[in-house]
A and B are shown apart, each in its own frame.
Chain A
Amino acid sequence: GAGVSQTPSNKVTEKGKYVELRCDPISGHTALYWYRQSLGQGPEFLIYFQGTGAADDSGLPNDRFFAVRPEGSVSTLKIQRTERGDSAVYLCASSRGGSSGELFFGEGSRLTVL
């Protein structure tokens, strides 16, 4: 399809392991966002890319979290030394960029850290 694609849809890992979550945005969308959502909460901003560069990474909770978008399209969110508190749904969204807040979300990657 032509929507935002996220893989894996579900990931179960053990505490301390490394995890990568991938996002393939809508073709032509220059802006890409990562959010984290816990049960009963709204999407919590993590990082925003405009093109290849991270325009705002103020939402990354600590240095265990890192995200890249090397060619301005696909992005990978990387979590090192996972903790049980990292368990959540990680949502990726893309938009045409600029001042638009019209985001198109993927179905999310559900991460469970045991």
Chain B
Amino acid sequence: RKEVEQDPGPFNVPEGATVAFNCTYSNSASQSFFWYRQDCRKEPKLLMSVYSSGNEDGRFTAQLNRASQYISLLIRDSKLSDSATYLCAVNRGYQKVTFGTGTKLQVIP
């Protein structure tokens, strides 16, 4: 089983729609969780950290479910500019950061 798993998509959604992605992780000792955004042929950039209590940044909401070992990202009111690949990342403390394969989002006019 992969350490971090994501549905690769693509998710094709109309502008204004709400879309959600999940990411599962296999190691229960994982401590820190993140969502990164990667545009085509560009480097990944941190979108947001994921906190135990859940957190929101504008149209983006991230949640962590430790019992079921998954994190989620919700995007409300999708914009064309949200089209990208969304990578989840997991850190087991003072160790490597492991990425999922990414979920591709295409927002359609």
How many chain B residues touch A (CB < 8 A): the figure is 28
CA distance A59 to B32 in the complex (A): 20
A114 at the binding interface (Cβ < 8 Å): no
Chain B residue nearest to A102 (CB atoms) is B46
CA distance A48 to B93 in the complex (A): 13
Chain B residue nearest to A41 (CB atoms) is B101
Q: Within the complex, what minimum Cβ distance (angstroms) separates A66 from chain B?
A: 17
Chain A residue nearest to B97 (CB atoms) is A101
Residues of A within 8 A of B98 (CB): 45
CA distance A58 to B96 in the complex (A): 9
> Which among A44, A55, A102, A105 is the interface contact of B43 at CB below 8 angstroms?
A105
Residues of A within 8 A of B4 (CB): 42
> Which among B87, B97, B100 is the interface contact of A33 at CB below 8 angstroms?
B97
Q: When the two chains form their complex, are residues A103 and B95 in contact, meaning their CB atoms are under 8 A apart?
A: no
Chain B residue nearest to A50 (CB atoms) is B94
A40 at the binding interface (Cβ < 8 Å): yes
Q: Within the complex, what minimum Cβ distance (angstroms) separates B9 from chain A?
A: 11
> Which among B33, B91, B102 is the interface contact of A42 at CB below 8 angstroms?
B102
Q: Within the complex, what minimum Cβ distance (angstroms) separates B79 from chain A?
A: 23
Q: Per-residue CB proximity of B31-49 to A under 8 Å, as 1/0?
A: 1111010000011111001
A107 at the binding interface (Cβ < 8 Å): yes
B90 at the binding interface (Cβ < 8 Å): yes
A56 at the binding interface (Cβ < 8 Å): yes
Residues of A within 8 A of B105 (CB): none
Q: When the two chains form their complex, are residues A99 and B43 in contact, meaning their CB atoms are under 8 A apart?
A: no
Residues of B within 8 A of A91 (CB): 43-44
CA distance A106 to B44 in the complex (A): 9
Cβ contacts A to B, 20 pairs, < 8 Å: A33-B97, A35-B99, A40-B8, A41-B101, A41-B102, A42-B6, A42-B100, A45-B98, A50-B94, A58-B96, A99-B93, A101-B33, A102-B46, A102-B49, A103-B36, A103-B89, A104-B46, A105-B43, A105-B44, A105-B45
